[in-house]
């Protein structure tokens, strides 16, 4: 924030920074409104997440009243919360979940590592569920809760035109955005997509598409194979359906002869067989995303590359597999490769991978294992990284391991090579266990399994070692994270520091990113909290301090590290710094200035007689800044958050502030504008100095004006129309 802006505000404090244009738009960006110019609906909270209260009971009496572990995941496999449940005591937790997450997977793991899961839609603020003994044997078994083939469309409703094939070699034309439905059996036909695109919905049996013509138009095109249909793509060469706005959905039986180059969206809920190479082609926007919830068989090479995303929630079997060129493959269930797996980017394995031949882990790539997952191969050559993110994962080699000088085994997992590591020139971190004893149960996703079920409880806390994150510490049992426990998970808070006067809404006066870990014991009581905070930018001109208030009495907190436990507070308030000007040499908001690397603060504290996880919650808690020049009482919080004991409520109502404690309103203007926003994204991009955030995030204003109904992915979606990259700060540019 420039000095001249501050002076201007002080002179005309009753006015906003920006004047609205007559057409309400920003020069050069038709339809985009500055944040400062929007009409904020009454009661809008500015929250990109919401609290969900979970209560998960169990009815699995195979182990008497012994503890089971309940873990709740988002659809992409990110851990939301975790803890203990028994026949007499359910697992209860409260987590602050992004509004972009519409469904979760609740997984119960028994003392013998057997598991059952259920998919739950988040329709309200409560999830109540009872899980019994395993019916579904893994997070994402074939034909389990992931398989929603019953949701398949049909050819009786929603058709612009219905065609019943009576002869061979008919041409079916799809254009003008229409939905063309096709019935018939034992016939062959051609498909012609024209201007305006549209949807081809096939309901017939034993039908053959001989040619997909003119499918490179820029208009959206979709092909849907319904649940009772059986279809073959039988072009003479590899099928091309590779525009980024294409959609292919299969609920029935689809066979593709000669291979396929497929961009855009794939959703497979049925049986999809590709005879030839299967390639995920993509451009820059939108990103190619393929999701397999059924059975995918590739009699050839499965090529996942070019920045695409591949989610396997069912069964995939391929002759060869290549994952490369910045692609991301997330395996939640069963992945079988009969020959070679060539890996050059990121694989997140939450299920089971079996390679009959050899795995090549190439340089600068990561093969990641998450709790309870397993990878099994005959041979492996490691030039990159294999990393375990949770306890209880296994990498098994039946023949030969070659760990080159560039190869690394790191994190928390077991590496099993019964013959020993034949060629070891790389790095093996001490956290990696070199043994073959880890028990992995047989399940619907993993027919191999490993070892024998353990029954040991070393620390005597009631949680068996195999399901205890801290098997040698009776005071700790489970790790919970906000937001999520992955290396790429985190959140960002953006502050304006002019309170109680409006700012310029570039939201970069302080930019803090963070990730928190809450440790609980076997009774689901909070015993420890740790976190990593990073100061990415300090665009304000004041000497601002930063702290966080946690929902716990100050007297219960001890062993504070990396921060100051502030005196004079009722609750535990940790101060990371008191003057941001001393923390970063440069502001990191102006393209003409030098760049300062973010400064990171590692904090932790212990809790005595702590609250339950459901009381403490998992979320952003109460972060704040204050203006050191004006005094400690000038706190700035997220909207709706109360000041700490040292904040001065007498300042409410001054300047542009319209806080009204009797109505639960804090830190908003009379028009409903905040001085801070929080977003569940690590190291969120932020605007250049003086650039209204609405001119960078082009859907932000529409999200606000809709009351949070539309564009709740405004901060994470990188497709066309969501961002104006010219208005973001970029280091080194």
User: Are 419 and 545 within one domain?
Assistant: no
- The span from the CA of 5 to the CA of 239, in Å, is 58
Q: What is the pLDDT of residues 568-584, one digit of tens each?
A: 999 999 999 999 999 99
693 strand-pairing partners? none
Last residue of a domain, one of 425, 445, 465: 445
Extract long-range pairs of 349-356: CB within 8 Å, 24+ residues apart: 349/373, 349/375, 349/393, 350/77, 350/139, 350/140, 351/138, 351/139, 351/140, 351/312, 351/445, 351/446, 352/376, 352/443, 352/445, 352/446, 352/447, 352/448, 353/377, 354/448, 355/321
Instruction: Examine residue 720 and state whether it is found in any structural domain, yes or no.
Output: yes
186: left (phi over 0), alpha (psi -120 to 50) or beta: left
Percent of the chain residues past pLDDT 90, beyond the cut: 72
User: Are 423 and 492 within one domain?
Assistant: no
Q: What is the pLDDT of residues 292-316, one digit of tens each?
A: 999 999 999 999 988 899 999 999 9
Task: Give this prediction's pTM.
Answer: 0.62
User: Are 381 and 484 within one domain?
Assistant: no
> Please, which pLDDT band fits residue 282 given cuts at 50, 70 and 90?
low
pLDDT at 6 > cutoff 60: no
Of residues 442 and 289, more confidence is placed in: 289
DSSP state of 611: P
Per-residue pLDDT at 218: 75
Last residue of a domain, one of 138, 161, 181: 138
User: Are 516 and 597 within one domain?
Assistant: yes
> Please, which pLDDT band fits residue 23 given cuts at 50, 70 and 90?
very low
Helix (H, G, I), strand (E, B) or coil at 303: strand
Tokens of 450: 């490993």
Q: What is the pLDDT of residues 699-711, one digit of tens each?
A: 999 999 999 999 9
Per-residue pLDDT at 488: 79
User: Are 429 and 512 within one domain?
Assistant: no
> Please, which pLDDT band fits residue 452 given cuts at 50, 70 and 90?
confident
Instruction: Examine residue 552 and state whether it is found in any structural domain, yes or no.
Output: yes
User: Are 616 and 681 within one domain?
Assistant: yes
Instruction: Examine residue 713 and state whether it is found in any structural domain, yes or no.
Output: yes
Q: What is the pLDDT of residues 459-488, one digit of tens each?
A: 999 998 888 999 999 999 999 999 887 777
pLDDT at 695 > cutoff 70: yes
User: Are 509 and 441 within one domain?
Assistant: no
User: Are 487 and 420 within one domain?
Assistant: no
> Please, which pLDDT band fits residue 442 given cuts at 50, 70 and 90?
confident
Q: What is the pLDDT of residues 586-624, one digit of tens each?
A: 999 999 999 999 999 999 999 999 999 999 999 999 999
pLDDT at 4 > cutoff 90: no
User: Are 576 and 682 within one domain?
Assistant: yes
Of residues 138 and 633, more confidence is placed in: 633
Last residue of a domain, one of 445, 469, 499: 445
Report which listed range, 189-198, 390-399, 434-443, 630-639, is most confident: 630-639
Element of type H or E holding 565: strand 564-565
Q: Output phi, psi for 372, to 5 deg.
A: 80, 5
Give the structural domain span for 115: 49-138
- The span from the CA of 81 to the CA of 70, in Å, is 8
Number of domains in the chain: 3
Instruction: Examine residue 402 and state whether it is found in any structural domain, yes or no.
Output: yes
Instruction: Examine residue 471 and state whether it is found in any structural domain, yes or no.
Output: no
Per-residue pLDDT at 213: 63
- Looking at residues 19-24, what average pLDDT do you find? 34
pLDDT at 49 > cutoff 80: yes
Helix (H, G, I), strand (E, B) or coil at 650: helix
Q: What is the pLDDT of residues 386-430, one digit of tens each?
A: 999 877 899 999 999 999 999 999 999 999 998 889 999 999 999
Contact partners, residue 605, CB within 8 Å, separation at least 6: 528, 529, 557, 558, 559, 560, 561, 565, 572, 574
User: Are 32 and 66 within one domain?
Assistant: no
How far is residue 724 from each of residues 32, 189, 685, 706, measured CA to CA in Å?
Answer: 10, 44, 11, 21
pLDDT at 140 > cutoff 60: no
Of 428, 441, 446, nearest to 387 by C-alpha is 428
Q: What is the pLDDT of residues 350-398, one digit of tens each?
A: 999 999 999 999 999 999 999 889 999 999 999 999 999 877 899 999 9
Q: What is the pLDDT of residues 508-528, one digit of tens each?
A: 999 999 999 999 999 999 999
Contact partners, residue 164, CB within 8 Å, separation at least 6: 182, 183, 184
Percent of the chain residues past pLDDT 70, beyond the cut: 91
Instruction: Examine residue 503 and state whether it is found in any structural domain, yes or no.
Output: yes
Tokens of 412: 């928390």
Q: Where would I find the beta strands (DSSP E) of 110-262? A: 115-121, 126-131, 161-164, 170-174, 178-183, 188-193, 198-202, 207-213, 221-225, 230-233, 239-241, 246-250, 253-257, 260-262
Look up tokens 């970069």; give the residue. Answer: 508
Instruction: Examine residue 589 and state whether it is found in any structural domain, yes or no.
Output: yes
Mean pLDDT of the chain, nearest integer: 88
Neighbours of 705 (CB within 10 A): 17
- Looking at residues 637-651, what average pLDDT do you find? 96
Instruction: Examine residue 540 and state whether it is found in any structural domain, yes or no.
Output: yes
Q: What is the pLDDT of residues 54-79, one digit of tens each?
A: 999 998 887 788 899 999 998 777 88
Q: How far is C-alpha 549 from the chain's CA centre?
A: 26
User: Are 569 and 430 within one domain?
Assistant: no
- The span from the CA of 576 to the CA of 563, in Å, is 5
User: Are 620 and 712 within one domain?
Assistant: yes
Kindly report which listed range (164-173, 183-192, 349-358, 482-491) carries the lowest average pLDDT score.
Answer: 482-491
Per-residue pLDDT at 302: 96
């Amino acid at each position: 924030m420039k000095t001249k802006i501050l002076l201007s505000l002080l002179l005309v404090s009753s006015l906003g920074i920006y004047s609205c244009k007559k057409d309400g738009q920003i020069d050069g960006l038709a339809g985009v409104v500055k944040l400062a110019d929007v009409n904020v609906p009454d009661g809008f909270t500015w929250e990109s997440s919401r609290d969900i209260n979970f209560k998960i009971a169990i009815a699995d009496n195979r182990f008497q009243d012994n503890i089971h572990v309940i873990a709740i995941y988002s659809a992409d496999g990110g851990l939301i919360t975790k803890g203990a449940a028994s026949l007499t005591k359910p697992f209860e937790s409260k987590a602050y979940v992004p509004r972009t997450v519409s469904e979760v997977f609740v997984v119960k793991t028994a003392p013998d590592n057997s598991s059952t899961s259920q998919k739950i839609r988040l329709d309200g603020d409560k999830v109540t569920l009872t899980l019994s003994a395993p019916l579904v044997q893994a997070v994402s078994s074939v034909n389990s809760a992931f398989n929603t083939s019953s949701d398949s469309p049909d050819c009786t409703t929603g058709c612009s035109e219905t065609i019943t094939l009576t002869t061979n070699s008919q041409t079916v034309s799809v254009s003008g955005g229409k939905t063309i439905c096709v019935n018939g059996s034992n016939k062959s036909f051609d498909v012609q997509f024209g201007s305006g695109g549209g949807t081809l919905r096939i309901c017939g049996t034993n039908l053959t598409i001989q040619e997909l013509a003119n499918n490179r138009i820029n208009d959206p095109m979709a092909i849907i194979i319904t649940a009772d249909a059986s279809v073959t793509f039988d072009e003479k060469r590899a099928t091309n359906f590779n525009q980024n706005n294409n959609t292919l959905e299969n609920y029935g039986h689809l066979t593709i002869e000669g291979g396929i180059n497929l961009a855009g969206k794939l959703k497979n809920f049925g049986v999809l067989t590709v005879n030839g190479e299967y390639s995920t082609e993509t451009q820059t926007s939108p990103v190619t995303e393929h999701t397999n919830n059924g059975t995918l068989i590739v009699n050839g090479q499965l090529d996942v590359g070019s920045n695409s995303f591949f989610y396997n929630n069912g069964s995939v079997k391929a002759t060869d597999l290549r994952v490369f060129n910045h692609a991301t493959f997330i395996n939640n269930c069963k992945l079988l490769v009969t020959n070679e797996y060539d890996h050059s980017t990121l694989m997140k394995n939450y299920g089971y991978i079996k390679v009959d031949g050899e795995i090549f882990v190439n340089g600068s790539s990561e093969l990641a294992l998450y709790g309870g997952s397993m990878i099994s191969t005959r041979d492996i050559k490691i030039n990159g990284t294999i990393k375990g993110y949770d306890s209880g994962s296994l990498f098994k080699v039946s023949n030969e391991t070659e760990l080159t000088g560039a190869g690394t085994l790191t994190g928390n997992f077991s590496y099993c090579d019964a013959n020993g590591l034949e060629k070891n020139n790389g790095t093996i971190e001490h956290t990696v266990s070199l043994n073959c004893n880890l028990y992995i149960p047989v399940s619907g996703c993993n027919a191999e399994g490993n070892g024998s079920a353990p029954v040991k409880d070393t620390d005597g806390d009631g949680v068996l070692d195999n399901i205890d994150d801290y098997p040698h510490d009776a005071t700790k049992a489970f790790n919970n994270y906000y937001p999520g426990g992955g290396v790429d998970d985190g959140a960002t808070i953006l502050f304006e520091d002019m309170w109680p006067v409006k700012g310029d809404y570039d939201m970069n006066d302080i930019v803090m990113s963070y990730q928190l870990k809450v440790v609980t014991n076997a009774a689901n009581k909070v015993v420890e909290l740790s976190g990593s905070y990073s100061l990415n930018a300090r665009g304000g001109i004041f000497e601002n301090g930063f702290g966080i208030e946690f929902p716990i009495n100050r007297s219960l907190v001890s062993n504070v590290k990396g921060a100051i436990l502030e005196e004079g507070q009722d609750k535990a308030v940790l101060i990371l710094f008191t003057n941001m000007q001393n923390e970063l040499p440069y502001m990191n908001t102006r393209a003409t200035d030098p760049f300062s690397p973010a400064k990171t603060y590692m904090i932790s504290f212990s809790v005595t007689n702590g609250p339950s996880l459901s009381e403490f919650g998992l979320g952003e808690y109460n972060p704040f800044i204050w203006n050191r020049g004006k005094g400690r009482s000038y706190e700035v919080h997220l909207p709706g958050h109360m000041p700490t004991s040292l904040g001065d409520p007498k300042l409410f109502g001054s300047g542009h502030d319209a806080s009204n404690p009797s109505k639960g309103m804090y830190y908003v203007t009379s028009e409903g504008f905040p001085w801070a926003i929080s977003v569940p994204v690590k190291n969120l991009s932020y605007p250049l100095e003086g650039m209204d955030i609405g001119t960078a995030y082009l859907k932000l204003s529409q999200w606000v004006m809709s009351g949070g109904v539309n564009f709740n992915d405004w901060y994470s979606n990188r497709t066309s129309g969501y961002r104006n990259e010219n208005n973001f700060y970029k280091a080194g540019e």
